[in-house]
Amino acid sequence: MTRKKIILGIALLALIGCATAAPQFYRARGSEVQHTITGKSVGRFYKIYVDGEEVISKATGWLSGNSEATGNFHGKVVSSSCHTALGLLTDSIVCTVFMDNERAATLTF
C-alpha cells in the first residue's frame, strides 16, 4: 500500500507542476525607476513579485479559474487579474498586473 501512495504522490506533483513567469520590466510614466515584475505558480496558487518582493499571493477559483488580488509595493497599489483555461485542471495561469492603475505586465505561468 505504501508504494501505491508514493506513486500517487509523484503523479500528483507532476500533474500540479510549478512554473516561473519570465521577468518583465515596468517603468511608470514620468519615472526613471524601472521595476522587475515576475511570478511563480504551483497548480492554481500563484505569487507575484516586484523587484524580488512578494506583493500578491493568491489562488485562482476552483471552477471559474479567475482571481483578482491587491497588494502594496512601497506605497504603490499593485493589483492583478488572473485566469486559467479551465480552473480545476489547467496548464497555465495568465495574470495582468497593474501598478497604481497602470498596466505593468502580463505574466504567464
List, run by run, the mean pLDDT of 10-residue segments along the chain (109 residues): 62 59 91 94 89 94 85 96 68 89 93
What was the pLDDT predicted at 106? 95
User: Which pLDDT value is given to residue 36?
Assistant: 97
Residue 83 is part of which domain span?
17-108
Compute how many other C-beta atoms are within 10 angstroms of the C-beta atom of residue 66: 12
**Residue located via cell numbers 500500500:** 1
Q: Residue 68 falls within a domain, yes or no? A: yes
Rounded distance, CA 104 to CA 77, Å? Answer: 12
- Does 12 fall in a domain? no
Give the pLDDT confidence score for residue 88 in this predicted structure: 53
Which of 29, 42, 38, 43 has the alpha carbon at shortest distance from 56? 38
Which pLDDT score is estimated for 87? 47
Q: What is the pTM (predicted TM-score) of this model?
A: 0.78
The domain tally of the chain equals 1
For position 91, what pLDDT does the model report?
Answer: 62
